[in-house]
Amino acid sequence: MSNSELSKILYVEDDPDIQVVAQMALETVGGYTLCVCSSGQEALDQAEAFAPDMILLDVMMPEMDGPTTLGNLRKMDSLSVTPAIFMTAKVMPSDVERYKELGAVDVIAKPFDPMSLATRIQEIWGECHG
């Protein structure tokens, strides 16, 4: 369905400060094209047109949280199998297990290291397409 090269990431994060750091890390360091959304609803509105290779989602967001957003994105045929990663400060093994049950391929802990974020995402991508 998709090629094995990761280029487009749908990034959903409601915190502007975290958004800026991650966007710089992924666009400047990683060379990825991002569609940055500040809410789950914004992600639902833009996701299909952007056609991401991967979805990167904050878990804790007002109105529509990450898991709910992912569930809604999964209802779109074009995004039903797009790899998704949750970013959260809640990384206890039980939390990570629950996120994976919800359809995430992995979980990245916050705060994250901006210099290694792109590399980590590329590693996860490789695991999905290895």
Question: 19 near 13, Cβ under 8 Å?
Answer: yes
pLDDT of residue 2: 42
* Segments making up each domain of the chain, as ranges: 8-128
Strand ranges across the sheet with 33-37: 33-37, 8-12, 54-58, 84-88, 106-109
Spell out, as residue ranges, where the chain has pLDDT lower than 50: 1-2
Q: Own/partner pairs for 102-107, CB < 8 Å, 24+ apart?
A: 102/67, 102/70, 102/71, 103/70, 103/71, 103/74, 104/57, 104/70
8-128 topology per CATH: Rossmann fold (3.40.50)
pLDDT at residue 130, as a whole number? 72
pTM over 0.85: yes
